[in-house]
Amino acid sequence: MKVTFIGKGGSGKTTLACLFVHYLLKKNKKILAVDADLNDHFGYYLGFREKPPAFGEAFFELADYIFGSYKPATFPKIGTIPPRRGYHNFQIDDSDWVIKKYTLKKGYLYYLNVGTYKEENVGNVCFHGKLNSLELYLNYLLEKETEFVVIDAMAGTDYLATSLYYSSDIYFFVIEPTLSSLEVFFQYLSKIEGEIDRFKIAIYPIANKIVDDRQLDFLKPRLRAYADNLIVFPFDRNYRRLEQTYDLSLYSQLIKNNLFSLEEVFSRASIKRRSPEEFYKGLRELFVRECLKWVNETYKQDFRFLIDPDFRSFALEN
């Protein structure tokens, strides 16, 4: 399952994403943890003191591998190019070249980092261009039922600047009991409102840093129907200690204090909502939409010839 934590900056999305990763590790799950936030602090909370090579620079390297001899001379830098027979895919496995080159590993945990701005990027490169590499990779990544991809997304609604929202099975939107945090949540929903049911994308709100019932009384009526699926994480001083020290031993107590909520997250994240056939059918639809909207005009070529109408899904090797 591909699980994304998203929310307003400062809402605690990175901390909760890391808490969920450590919870999964206690359940002996294999995890690919992806830092897709410009601030890229995810790895520190996971216990990594170094960063792997920046994955945001890998788009054409990925494309060369995926498409091989099928790759046309002119190739659009978008992540929604749908699979066809003869293309290659990726798996969360030590033998996979992306895992070997672009991740750091500890036990069952793999850490991949999109990267942040380099000095030469400032003023002339958009961070969303780096996310194209992640989008392409996720759309060709085959994870097993016992494996999880946990993504710490860019704060706010910037994540919607690409079609990357489609690549995850489920979103946990972290909300503080404030009007500004709620505003970002509904801004996000308004941008993909028509896509949620169409593409079977699940979005669940998480109320974070909750001190008392009055804060829940503030949130619930404003969340309307989404309040029925609200998951609550109470305020915990151990989070601040974690931010100050990166002391991983604190996770044991945090998991104990939040076990019920973490089990709710795990239960919802474990539900498969799209079959592989449905996923690739939707990906073709998004690709055609982008071709007609801007890609064909930009590159002066109609790329819909890349679609293989007979492709259904990849076979996942056990």
Question: Which CATH architecture group holds 2-306?
Answer: 3-Layer(aba) Sandwich (3.40)
Instruction: Kindly report the pTM of this predicted structure.
Output: 0.94
What residues does each domain of the chain span? 2-306
- 139-196 pLDDT per residue, tens: 999 999 899 999 999 887 777 767 889 999 999 999 999 999 999 999 999 888 888 8
pLDDT for 157 equals 73
> For the segment 121-134, what is each residue's pLDDT rounded down to a tens digit?
555 556 667 899 99
DSSP string, 156-212: TTGGGGSSGGGG-SEEEEEE-SSHHHHHHHHHHHHHHHHHHHHTT-EEEEEEEEE-S
Q: What are 183-200's pLDDT values in tens digits?
A: 999 999 988 888 888 999
Statement: residue 119 has pLDDT above 60 = no
Per DSSP, helices labelled H in the chain are 13-26, 42-46, 59-67, 97-102, 127-139, 179-198, 213-223, 237-245, 250-257, 259-269, 276-290, 296-299
Residue 318 has pLDDT above 50, yes or no: no
